[in-house]
């Protein structure tokens, strides 16, 4: 896939590629490469930190989850978001008050990072295009990702490309030690909790409806068979119908990438939306949540029905019950930790019983104490603001470490002289 991606990038930069970019006819997922390179010649970026995001609009939700912490980091150290797609850059500028530039050429990127004395480069995913920034040896490279889960991506061999990884808690370190070979997780992982959840809390309003409510939050269909965790097309319709038949209100929170790869998931999504509208609309039987903070949906729900995904760990601090689906695809694999083994699992064949199971767990939650004991293991200290503080402190420490290491390298190279 990376080889084909590089070949496509070369074609896009050709004369024909210029026309494709100009008329917005690029293939889905391909950055347009319309950069600010000429304007950036000889200039430097303000601040210590670059957030490198070469993706197109489809993946912007991954960066959006970090807006709150990045604003705080910008106040402390200065942050610039660097994109490879001008459309994505324009959207980010409209959404958050952070400096944003688009850089199309690898040479421009490498030079401006060095010229700016950039200390940290942060990444919110494992996009193969991240290698353009990873070439820079004058900065420390940190993987943030956009959630902590038992998905196989959490133990991807790609983690080795980054100097450090910020993880949620000890569970993530143990998961990597168990499933990833030749990687020193305790040395290269820094637990910071989930900083996006700290900033998300400020937007939450108190619950105003006491009807028993289930949050259904399936993940997307996945990029490979091994990561096909979504229940939407296999469980979703039967499960939501069962919840409604049981008299439970349903909040359906679709994943932003729903239906991007497999059309069947888009069709299931449409069917669920129609079902909730027919159940009363306006929130009577439930509603679709697309532009609300995740914590607002947590606050308004009594139980979550979700897949193997980061949302299960984020739900833990609520203390409320959960049901995790079991993927129908026999090729799917997970990086299981304690939460999967102790949570009720719902198979596709059992989806029509979801309502009975959910109501029983809402009224009688026998695993509550066991889940509460797992909170610190997965997330560390969840006192409001503590995760954001750990994130900012970790960035400060790594910036100082970078200065120490880079000075040593420059002294050694200066003493050696030119080759």
pLDDT, tens digit (0-9, with 9 covering 90-100), for 317-330: 999 999 999 999 99
| Domains of the chain by residue range | 2-200, 208-379
Q: What is the pLDDT at residue 417? A: 66
Fold that domain 208-379 belongs to in CATH: Rossmann fold (3.40.50)
DSSP character for 24? T
Distance (Å) of CA 331 to CA 225, 280, 302, 340, 351: 6, 38, 32, 18, 20
**In the predicted model, is pLDDT for residue 382 greater than 60?**
yes
Q: What is the pLDDT at residue 1? A: 43
3-class secondary structure, 102: strand
Q: What is the pLDDT at residue 26? A: 43
Give per-residue burial for 54-63: e unless 16+ CB within 10 Å, then b: bbbeebbebb
3-class secondary structure, 142: strand
**In the predicted model, is pLDDT for residue 405 greater than 60?**
yes
Q: What is the pLDDT at residue 25? A: 41
Q: What is the mean pLDDT of residues 229-258?
A: 96
Are the C-beta atoms of 301 and 354 separated by less than 8 Å?
no
Which of 119-123, 290-294, 406-410 has maximum average pLDDT? 119-123
Q: What is the pLDDT at residue 204? A: 85
Spatial CA neighbour of 224 closest among 153, 150, 293:
153
pLDDT in tens, 62-72: 999 999 999 99
Q: What is the pLDDT at residue 222? A: 87
Q: What is the mean pLDDT of residues 48-63?
A: 96
Q: How far is CA 392 from the centre of its chain?
A: 19
Concatenated DSSP letters of 314-353:
HHGGG---EEEE--S-TT--B---HHHHHS-EE-GGGGGG
3-class secondary structure, 251: strand
Fold that domain 2-200 belongs to in CATH: Rossmann fold (3.40.50)
Q: What is the pLDDT at residue 225? A: 85
Are the C-beta atoms of 125 and 59 separated by less than 8 Å?
yes
Q: What is the pLDDT at residue 115? A: 96
Are the C-beta atoms of 82 and 133 separated by less than 8 Å?
yes
* Within this chain, domains 2-200 and 208-379 share the same CATH topology: yes
Q: What angle do CA 207, 210, 214 make, to 5 degrees?
A: 90
DSSP character for 217? E
Q: What is the pLDDT at residue 281? A: 65
Lowest-confidence pick of 19-23, 118-122, 133-137, 325-329: 19-23
Lowest-confidence pick of 152-156, 220-224, 336-340: 220-224
Are the C-beta atoms of 306 and 325 separated by less than 8 Å?
yes
| Residue spans of alpha helices (H) in 118-250 | 131-134, 170-179, 185-188, 195-200, 237-245
3-class secondary structure, 84: coil
CA distance 122 to 142: 5
Q: What is the pLDDT at residue 22? A: 45
Residue 16: band (very low, low, confident or very high) from pLDDT cuts 50, 70, 90: very low
Q: What is the pLDDT at residue 418? A: 63
Spatial CA neighbour of 347 closest among 231, 237, 233:
231
**Helix/strand/coil percent split, the chain, to 5:** 50, 10, 35
CB burial of residue 331 (10 Å; 0-12, 13-18, 19+): exposed
CA distance 343 to 328: 17
Count of CB atoms within 10 A of residue 190's CB? 18
Q: What is the pLDDT at residue 15? A: 43
Q: Strand pairing of 286-288 and 249-252?
A: parallel
pLDDT in tens, 202-225: 678 999 889 999 999 999 998 888
């Amino acid at each position: 896939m990376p080889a084909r991606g590089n070949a496509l990038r070369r074609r896009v930069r050709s004369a024909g590629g210029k026309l494709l970019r100009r008329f917005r006819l690029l293939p889905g997922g391909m950055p347009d490469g319309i950069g600010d390179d000429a304007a950036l010649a000889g200039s430097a970026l303000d601040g210590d930190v670059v957030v490198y995001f070469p993706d197109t609009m489809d993946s912007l939700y991954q960066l959006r989850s970090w807006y709150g912490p990045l604003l705080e980091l910008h106040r402390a150290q200065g942050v610039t978001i660097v994109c490879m797609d001008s459309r994505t850059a324009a959207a980010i500028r409209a959404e958050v008050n952070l400096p944003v530039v688009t850089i199309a050429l690898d040479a421009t990127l490498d030079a401006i990072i060095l010229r700016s004395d950039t200390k940290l480069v942060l990444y919110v995913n494992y996009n193969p295009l991240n290698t353009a920034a990873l070439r820079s040896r004058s900065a420390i490279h940190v993987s943030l990702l956009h959630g902590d889960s038992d998905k196989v991506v959490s133990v991807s061999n790609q983690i080795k490309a980054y100097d450090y990884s910020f993880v949620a808690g000890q569970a993530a370190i143990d998961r990597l030690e168990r499933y990833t070979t030749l990687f020193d997780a305790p040395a290269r992982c820094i637990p910071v909790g989930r900083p996006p959840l700290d900033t998300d809390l400020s937007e939450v309003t108190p619950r105003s409806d006491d009807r028993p409510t289930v949050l259904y939050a399936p993940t997307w269909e996945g990029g490979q068979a091994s990561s096909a965790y979504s229940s939407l097309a296999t469980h979703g319709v039967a499960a939501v119908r069962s919840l409604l038949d049981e008299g439970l209100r349903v909040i359906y929170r679709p994943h932003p990438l729903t239906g991007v790869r497999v059309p069947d998931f888009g069709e299931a999504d449409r069917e669920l939306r129609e079902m909730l509208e027919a159940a009363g609309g306006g929130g009577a039987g439930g509603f679709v949540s697309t532009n609300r903070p995740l914590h607002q949906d947590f606050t308004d729900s009594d139980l979550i029905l979700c897949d193997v995904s980061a949302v299960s760990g984020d739900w833990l601090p609520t203390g409320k019950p959960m049901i995790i689906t079991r993927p129908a695809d026999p090729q799917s694999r997970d990086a299981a930790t304690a939460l999967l083994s102790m949570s009720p699992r719902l198979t596709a064949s059992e989806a029509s019983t979801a309502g009975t199971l959910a109501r029983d767990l809402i009224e009688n939650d026998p695993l509550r104490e066991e889940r509460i004991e797992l909170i610190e293991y997965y997330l560390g200290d969840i006192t409001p603001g503590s995760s954001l503080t750990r994130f900012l402190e970790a960035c400060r420490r790594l910036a100082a470490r970078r200065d120490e290491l880079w000075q040593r390298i420059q002294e050694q190279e200066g003493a050696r002289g030119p080759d």
